[in-house]
Amino acid sequence: MKKINFIGKRHFAYILSLLIIIFSWTIGLKIGPQFGVDFTGGVALQVKFNGKVNSNIIREKLKKYPSLMVQNFGKEGEYLIRVGVSKKEDIETLSNRLKEDIEKNFENATIEAINVIGPSVSEQLKKKGILAVLYAVIAMGIYIAFRFEPIFALGAVIALIHDVLITVGLLMVLRQSFDLQIIAALLTLIGYSINDTIVVFDRIREKIQRERGKKPFDILVNEAINENLSRTVITSLTTLIVVITLYLFGSPNIKPFALTLLIGVITGTYSSIFIASGIVVDYYKYKKKDLFALSKIK
C-alpha cells in the first residue's frame, strides 16, 4: 500500500485550518452568534396534554417563537417547552403570552409548572459553559504532558483549540443556537479528539523507540501515521455513521448535538493527523536537527 506523505503536507494543512477559522469566525460574528434559553434567559413550561400529542404539532403551533425548544418530559404526553426572551420583551410578559398561546391552541393542555431563567442565571451558565470547555482542554494537556512529553501536550492542546474554534465557527455560520446541549457536545468532541490524538501519539512513540536512528524523525512519524491510518479511518467512519443517523432520523432536540459532533469528528480526525503530529515534528525539526539528517520531507 502506498504511503501518504501527511507530514510533508502539514504546512498546507496549517494554512487551510487558519483560513477556515478566519472565514467562519468573520462570517459568524458578522451574522451574530445565536444563544438559546440557557444563555439568554427565558421561560420553561412543563405542560401535560390529555391524549397523544406529537412534538412537531406543538412546534408548528408555537413556531412564532424563534428560540422554541420542545422536549419530552417524564410520561407520555408531558413536554418541557422552553422559549428565550428577546431584548424587546420582559420575562413576565413572555411567560403570560406563551401561556395564553398554549391554552388557545391546545384545549387539552395543563400547565403544571413554570420556571423562569433570569438574565443573571443565564449569564452564569454561559460563563460556566465556557470555563468547562477551557478546563477540559487544560486537563487533557496536563494528562498528555505526563503520559508523553511536554511538546506532545502542546501539539494536543493546539489541536483541541483548533477543533473547538472550527466547530464553533461553522456552527455560527450555520446559525445554530448555542446552549448547554452544545457545550455538552463540545466536551464530548474534546474527549473524542484527544483519544484519537493519543492513539496516533502512541504509535509514533512506539515507532520512534523501535527505529530511532535508523530513519529521520519526520519519516518515522509519517510512517507511524500511515500504519495507524486504517484504524483512524474506520473509527471515524463508524462514529460518523452513528452521528449522521442521529442527525437525519433523531428528534429536532438532538440535531444540534449531532451536528456539533458531525463537524467535530471530522475536524478531530484531521487535526490528530496534520496538526498535533505536525507541531511535534516542527518542534524537533528546529530543536534537534540531527534527528532529521537525510530527510526529504520539508
* pLDDT tens digit sequence for 227-248: 888 888 899 999 999 999 999 9
d(CA 137, CA 159): 10
Q: Mean per-residue pLDDT for 19-42?
A: 87
Task: Name, in order, each residue with C-beta under 8 angstroms of 250's C-beta and a sequence gap of 6 or more.
Answer: 258
If one compares 143 and 103, the residue with the highest pLDDT of the two is: 143
Label residue 288 by pLDDT band (50, 70, 90): low
pLDDT value for 100: 84
For the chain, which residues make up each domain, given as ranges? 7-35+122-292, 42-117
**pTM for the complete prediction?**
0.81
% of the chain with per-residue pLDDT over 70? 92
Mean pLDDT, residues 54-78: 79
Q: Is the pLDDT at 209 greater than 60, yes or no?
A: yes
Amino acid of residue 228: N
For cell 462570517, name the residue: 27
Q: How far is C-alpha 123 from the geometric centre of its chain's CA atoms? A: 21
**How much is the pLDDT for 32?**
84
Phi, psi values for residue 52, rounded to 5°: -85, 125
What is the per-residue pLDDT for 62? 83
Strand ranges inside the chain, DSSP E = 34-35, 42-49, 69-72, 78-84, 109-117, 177-178
Instruction: Give residue 295's pLDDT.
Output: 46
Beta carbons of 203 and 152 less than 8 angstroms apart: no
The long-range contacts involving 218-223, CB below 8 angstroms and separated by at least 24 positions, are 218/7, 218/281, 218/285, 218/292, 218/295, 218/297, 219/295, 219/296, 219/297, 221/7, 221/277, 221/280, 221/281, 222/3, 222/5, 222/6, 222/7, 222/8, 222/297, 223/3
Mean pLDDT of 162-188: 92
Condensed to tens digits (0 to 9), the pLDDT of residues 154-166 reads: 999 999 999 999 9
Q: How far apart are CA 274 and CA 286, in angstroms?
A: 18
Q: Evaluate whether 7-35+122-292 and 42-117 have a shared fold.
A: no
- What is the per-residue pLDDT for 119? 66
47 or 119: whose pLDDT is higher? Answer: 47
Q: Is the pLDDT of residue 293 over 50?
A: no
Topology (CATH level 3) of domain 42-117: Alpha-Beta Plaits (3.30.70)
Lowest mean pLDDT across 54-68, 140-154, 233-247: 54-68
- Cα 54 from Cα 173, distance rounded (Å): 30
What is the separation, in whole angstroms, between the first and last Cα of the chain?
23
- pLDDT at site 74: 66
Q: Name the percent of the chain lying above pLDDT 90.
A: 35
Residue 246: in which H helix or E strand, if any? Answer: helix 229-249
pLDDT at 193 over 50: yes
CA dist., res. 5 & res. 151, Å (int): 22
Average pLDDT over residues 24-34: 90
Residue 170 confidence (pLDDT): 95
* Mean pLDDT rounded to a whole number for the chain: 84
pLDDT, position 294? 39
Contacts of 62 (CB under 8 A, 6+ apart): 68, 70, 81, 83, 98, 101, 102, 105
Do 81 and 18 contact (CB within 8 A), yes or no?
no
In CATH, the architecture of 7-35+122-292 is Up-down Bundle (1.20)
At 297, is the pLDDT very low, low, confident or very high (cuts 50, 70, 90)? very low
pLDDT of residue 238: 93
pLDDT for 1 equals 54
Confidence tier at 289 by pLDDT (50, 70, 90): low
- In the sheet where 69-72 sits, what is the strand order? 69-72, 78-84, 42-49, 109-117
More confident site: 121 or 127: 127
Of 254 and 15, the structure prediction assigns the larger pLDDT to 15
Q: Are the CB atoms for 190 and 163 separated by under 8 Å?
A: yes
Give the pLDDT band (50/70/90) at residue 260: very high
Length reported for the chain: 298
